[in-house]
Amino acid sequence: MLTSLARRCIRAPRVVPIPQGRSLSASPATAAARAIVYSGNGNPSEVLSVLTFPDLPPPPTNTLNVQFLLSPINPADINVIEGVYPSKPKLNGNLTTSGLGSQQDPVFVGGNEGLARVSALGSGVEGLQEGDWVVMKTPQVGTWRTSANVKPGDVLKVPSADKLTPVQAATLVVNPPTAWNLLHDFVQLSEGDWVIQNGANSAVGQCVIQVAAAKGYKTINLVRNRSDLPILQQRLRELGATEVLTYDELAQDGIRDKIKSWTNGKDIKLGLNCVGGPDTTRMARFLGKDAHLVSYGAMSKAPLSLPTSLFIFKNLTSHGFWQSRWYADHSLEEQQSMLRTLTELMANGKLLAPDHEIASIRGSDSDEVASEHIRSMVEGITSGQYGKKVLLQFESDEA
């Protein structure tokens, strides 16, 4: 039942047309302003609702109105709604309640990441024009909505927007920068150096493969065993993966010799972890002297258990990485410079859009029906039904 609802809601992946200049500026037309909201933390499949609210007024001075084109549903968004993520949306004095004036109770708007188009500029706003593509820089702005009034500091103008697909732009600020920073912030890699990562098929994992390939780093990519493993291996190799291994293979006798033959005995300098648990312990044992292990996720929900001897005698250093902290710790210039680097890779075909599906909230559906859809869709995502990045799109009621 939930599955069939989810299927109704998730349309088949489709090619979103690459905009010609600002040609997307009038599309999709949005008749009703809507948002996916919740008034308290809980299971997203219970607490989320779709609400229709009045159109935004013209933007006050030093603010702008934006119209969201595509907003990813990231795993962290689910955690925010559940209340188990350190970044919290704010209830008062910011965007999350704005535009929902008729509501008695204050609400949060879901979503952290999203591509929006500047629809109107308040006086005093500089450096942006109507029609510009922007992505959210301030965390937890609430991107699962048709439109919002924001401050210029909340957004970053997408560089080389005309060379990106909407999906590339909508997924620009979290996963690709995470991959870039994981590969550059902890150890100085040179061409031919080796990196090992788990969760290699994740959105970040695929970006790591591509950024590493573009820089000439070699990657050993760990994935779960599955029936269609050869297809996955083939796909990751096409992205630039040097080697692909399952966790089961990593546990087999003789694997150390195999890896040694790949690396020609060279130390693996960097390990990237989004899984945790025993598979990560095993991965860490293949790191070389003075290596760095960087964790940016814990998909297994198991802690990271490492033999102390790796730290003492192999000089392992274990770090964490959180892209939100990176943004907080880096200047606007540094942020723009990184996004430029990434959009250049994208424009050159070296960093592809993630595998994805577009999930539409249909304008013709009532808030009640749309709410049911979004709840079952999120339930499908949390149960791992999709295996692809899902991006939300609000369709006009003519759709």
**Active-site positions?**
85
Our CB check for a copy of itself shows the closer of 102 and 188 to be 188
Our CB check for a copy of itself shows the closer of 270 and 361 to be 270
Q: Which residue has the tokens 């997408």?
A: 158
17 SS3 class = coil
Binding mask 75-114 for a copy of itself (x = CB under 8 A): -----------x----------------------------
Our CB check for a copy of itself shows the closer of 31 and 304 to be 304
Helix (H) or strand (E) holding 36: strand 33-38
Q: Which of 166, 276, 354, 380 binds a copy of itself (CB under 8 A)?
A: 276
Binding residues among 203-242 for a copy of itself as defined by CB under 8 A? none
Q: Which of 45, 221, 273, 371 binds a copy of itself (CB under 8 A)?
A: 273
- Contact call for residues 178 and 339 (beta carbons, < 8 A): no
Q: Which of 144, 286, 296, 327 binds a copy of itself (CB under 8 A)?
A: 296
The DSSP secondary structure of 320-366, one letter per residue, reads E--HHHHHHHS-HHHHHHHHHHHHHHHHTTSSPPPSEEEEEE-TTS-
Nearest to 117 by CA among 77, 157, 144, 152: 157
User: How far is the C-alpha of 278 from the C-alpha of 110, rounded, in Å?
Assistant: 33
Report the C-alpha dihedral over residues 92, 34, 136, 197, rounded to 10 degrees: 110
Q: What angle do CA 275, 83, 51 make, to 5 degrees?
A: 115
User: How far is the C-alpha of 395 from the C-alpha of 107, rounded, in Å?
Assistant: 22
Our CB check for a copy of itself shows the closer of 265 and 301 to be 301
Part of the chain binding a copy of itself (CB under 8 A), chosen from 54-62, 207-215, 298-306, 345-353: 298-306
Our CB check for a copy of itself shows the closer of 291 and 374 to be 291
CB of 61 to a copy of itself, least distance (A): 36
Part of the chain binding a copy of itself (CB under 8 A), chosen from 33-41, 215-223, 290-298, 341-349: 290-298
Q: What angle do CA 126, 131, 134 make, to 5 degrees?
A: 70
In the structure encoding, which two tokens stand for residue 271, read together?
Answer: 């390990």
Bridge partners (DSSP) listed for residue 357: 390
Q: Which of 41, 151, 229, 311 binds a copy of itself (CB under 8 A)?
A: 311
Q: Which residues contact 138 (CB under 8 A, 6 or more apart)?
A: 150, 151, 153, 154, 155
Q: Which of 166, 199, 297, 380 binds a copy of itself (CB under 8 A)?
A: 297
Q: Is 337 in the site for a copy of itself (CB under 8 A)?
A: no
Part of the chain binding a copy of itself (CB under 8 A), chosen from 108-116, 292-300, 336-344, 373-381: 292-300
In the structure encoding, which two tokens stand for residue 21, read together?
Answer: 């200049």
Q: Is 313 in the site for a copy of itself (CB under 8 A)?
A: yes
Q: What length does the chain have?
A: 399
Q: Is 133 in the site for a copy of itself (CB under 8 A)?
A: no
CB of 303 to a copy of itself, least distance (A): 5
User: How far is the C-alpha of 293 from the C-alpha of 136, rounded, in Å?
Assistant: 29
CB of 85 to a copy of itself, least distance (A): 9
CB of 84 to a copy of itself, least distance (A): 9
Note the residues at the interface with a copy of itself (CB under 8 A): 86, 273, 276, 281, 295-298, 303-322, 325
